[in-house]
Every structure is written in structure tokens, then in C-alpha cells.
């Protein structure tokens, strides 16, 4: 299984398995359709997943690895038998749980109590709202984008700001 940090590809896979969409015409299309279907369903339990600590390349370095294989297996077993909206809702609940568990483990290591939610996946209103609420309930200070988009637009603006600062 290839390693990736892209939750967008996981959304694409879940949308395909749930029967929502196998091909897209634009970035985020499958994810948006899955979100829309999920938003029509009530919150539910999460699918299984694993968060493992692994030794990094440097001595004493510990990495967190999120294993989504149990999630993919569970969705595959439900595909064609369970409504795509319910699968989408459970998938969103799973992502919220993954975020909460990873942030909890990082807080234990570092003592930090602030979380910044950034990246294109946080254009997803359902995920952003529920992850923010869960993290706040877990005692975190949550920061989100308000003036700049969390995806590529914000990244481009940040790159421009760095380039401008280097020109000064």
C-alpha cells in the first residue's frame, strides 16, 4: 500500500467504493458529492482504523502512522448494501475520530493544546465543523482559516508572501 498524506485521495476512494463517483471532471468533485450525501444523514459510529507509533529514521524519532486498511475493508463490505450517504457519514465520523486521536497523542508527547486545521480537505464544511467541535470538546484551542482558503489558494498566497519578504 503506498504511503500518502493526502486525505483527498482517501475521499476519492471512499466515493468510488460507495458508488458515488468513479471519475471526476474537477478536483474535489467526488469529495463534495460524498459530503453532500453525508450531510443528509445523522452522525453515526466510525469505521475501524489504526493509529500506530513507529520508529523514525533518526534515533529516538517516533512517527504516527494512520492505517486506513480496516476502514477500506469495512467500506468494501458495505458497498452496494448500504446507502452511499450512510457510508459517507460514517466516513466523515471516522475522519473526525482519526483527527481527535492523532491530536490527543501529539498533545501527550508535546503538551501543546492548540490545533490548526489547514489543507484542502478543510474546505469540507461537515468535516471542519465536526472536527472543530470534537477538538474543542477535547480541550484544544482550534484555529482555522477565515480570510484565506485552506487549500492551494492559501498555499499560493503564503509562497507569494515569502517571496516578497525575501525581495526586501
Q: How far apart are CA 5 and CA 3, in angstroms?
A: 7
> Which H/E stretch holds residue 67?
strand 62-67
Beta-bridged to residue 52, according to DSSP, are 65
> What's the DSSP call for residue 138?
T
> Which H/E stretch holds residue 52?
strand 50-55
In our burial notation (b when 16+ CB lie closer than 10 A, e otherwise), range 126-156 reads bbbebbbebbeebebebeebeeeebbeebee
Fold classification of 7-167 is Nucleotidyltransferase; domain 5 (3.30.420)
Report which of 90, 94, 21 is spatially closest to residue 51, judged by C-alpha positions.
94
> pLDDT digit string (tens) for 80-133?
999 999 999 999 999 999 999 999 999 999 999 999 999 899 999 999 999 999
> pLDDT digit string (tens) for 45-91?
999 999 998 888 888 888 899 999 999 999 999 999 999 999 999 99
The pTM (predicted TM-score) of the whole model is 0.89
Amino acid at each position: 500500500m503506498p504511503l500518502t498524506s493526502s486525505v483527498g485521495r482517501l475521499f476519492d476512494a471512499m466515493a468510488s467504493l460507495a458508488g458515488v463517483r468513479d471519475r471526476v471532471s474537477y478536483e474535489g468533485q467526488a469529495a463534495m458529492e460524498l459530503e453532500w450525501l453525508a450531510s443528509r444523514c445523522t452522525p453515526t459510529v466510525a469505521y475501524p482504523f489504526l493509529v500506530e507509533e513507529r520508529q523514525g529514521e533518526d534515533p529516538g524519532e517516533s512517527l504516527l502512522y494512520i492505517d486506513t486498511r480496516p476502514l477500506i475493508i469495512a467500506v468494501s463490505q458495505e458497498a452496494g448494501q448500504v446507502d452511499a450517504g450512510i457510508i459517507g457519514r460514517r466516513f466523515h465520523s471516522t475522519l473526525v475520530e482519526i483527527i481527535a486521536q492523532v491530536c490527543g497523542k501529539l498533545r501527550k508527547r508535546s503538551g501543546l493544546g492548540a490545533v490548526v486545521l489547514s489543507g484542502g480537505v478543510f474546505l469540507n464544511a461537515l468535516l471542519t465543523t465536526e472536527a472543530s467541535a470534537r477538538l474543542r470538546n477535547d480541550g484544544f484551542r482550534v484555529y482555522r482559516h477565515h480570510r484565506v482558503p485552506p487549500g492551494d489558494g492559501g498555499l499560493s498566497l503564503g509562497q507569494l508572501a515569502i517571496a516578497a519578504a525575501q525581495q526586501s
